[in-house]
């Protein structure tokens, strides 16, 4: 059974790894998140021209004065790129590299970025094939804002958990009522400010776990940890883990117990 479909304590998920320590969506960033002891890592995935899945958030790669769509590269072309960032030059990894590096020692939130005309079925089958090859299907939560992609993902690999992302109010399914516009998923990923007791109650009634993003404020992290969400995704996973454990690092560098 999928880890994401079974009941579990509130998990801390590193948003694109640990983007305050290394360039987001890179092996270095994921390594930092792993070193903190996160329960899962989240990252963005896009397809290349030849159907490979690579980790990158934006539609385009900026090379000097040029913007070139990720989907216009082959994965071998992507592999050769060295791109400047505030953390130094970085390379774009493939999903295959990530699954190979961490395997079953890690959990994954695979956020699939789509674009008009994207071959949904091809991308869904690629993710399903890689997850099966590395034995991590039960460790993956495949998430997307694209309802059509999530339908294709469910068809390609019904055992892999899926999550519908949204950044505005959405009508959740009502038990016993047809929901043609809502994709068949196991979870929802609302933007953090959309989480409320009413949303949590509606999600519970619909059998959906709740995974808000991106939660960086310490007070909000504390609140959500006790709210009934299944996980929270954060740019500061080290801080969130300290809060969850009941110990936070004071600005003096001393560990202090949480109060209240």
Residue range 213-250, pLDDT digits in tens: 999 999 999 999 999 999 999 999 999 999 999 976 54
pLDDT tens-digit map of 140-173: 999 999 999 999 999 999 999 999 999 999 999 9
pLDDT at 249: 54
pLDDT at 17: 98
Output the pTM of the full model.
0.94
The DSSP bridge pattern shows strands 247-249 and 255-257 to be antiparallel
Q: Is the model's pLDDT at 257 over the cut of 80? A: no
CA neighbor of 231 nearest in space, from 104, 144, 107: 107
DSSP per-residue codes, 137-162 = GGGEEEEES-HHHHHHHHHH-TTSEE
Q: Is the model's pLDDT at 18 over the cut of 70? A: yes
pLDDT tens-digit map of 105-119: 999 999 999 999 999
Report d(CA 57, CA 70) in Å as an integer: 10
pLDDT at 14: 98
Domains in the chain, please, with CATH? 11-246 (3.20.20.190)
User: Positive or negative CA dihedral for 218, 220, 223, 229?
Assistant: negative
Which residues in 16-85 belong to E strands, given as ranges? 40-47, 53-55, 60-63, 66-69
Phi, psi of 238 (to 5 degrees): -65, -40
pLDDT bin (cut points 50, 70, 90) of residue 255 is very low
Mean per-residue pLDDT over the chain, rounded = 94
pLDDT at 177: 82
CB 145 within 8 A of CB 165: yes
């Amino acid at each position: 059974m999928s880890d994401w479909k079974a009941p579990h304590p509130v998990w801390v998920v590193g948003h694109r790894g640990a983007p305050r320590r290394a360039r987001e969506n890179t092996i270095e960033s994921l390594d930092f998140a792993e070193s903190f002891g996160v329960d899962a890592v989240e990252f963005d995935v896009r397809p290349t021209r030849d159907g490979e899945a690579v980790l990158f958030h934006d539609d385009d790669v900026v090379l000097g004065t040029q913007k070139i769509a990720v989907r216009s590269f082959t994965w071998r072309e992507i592999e050769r790129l060295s791109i400047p960032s505030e953390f130094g030059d970085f390379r774009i990894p493939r999903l295959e590299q990530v699954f190979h590096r961490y395997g079953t020692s890690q959990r994954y939130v695979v956020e699939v970025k789509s674009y008009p005309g994207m071959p949904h079925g091809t991308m869904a089958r690629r993710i399903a094939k890689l997850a099966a090859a590395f034995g991590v299907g039960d460790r993956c939560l495949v998430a997307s804002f694209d309802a059509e992609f999530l339908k294709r993902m469910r068809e390609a690999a019904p055992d892999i958990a899926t999550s519908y992302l949204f950044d505005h109010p959405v009508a959740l399914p009502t038990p016993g009522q047809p929901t043609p516009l809502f994709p068949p998923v196991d979870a929802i990923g609302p933007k953090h400010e959309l989480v409320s007791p009413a949303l949590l109650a509606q999600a519970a009634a619909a059998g959906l776990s709740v995974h808000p993003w991106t939660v960086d404020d310490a007070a909000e992290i504390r609140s959500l940890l006790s709210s009934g969400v299944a996980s929270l995704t954060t740019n500061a996973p080290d801080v969130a883990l300290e809060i969850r454990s009941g110990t936070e690092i004071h600005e003096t560098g001393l560990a202090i117990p949480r109060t209240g």
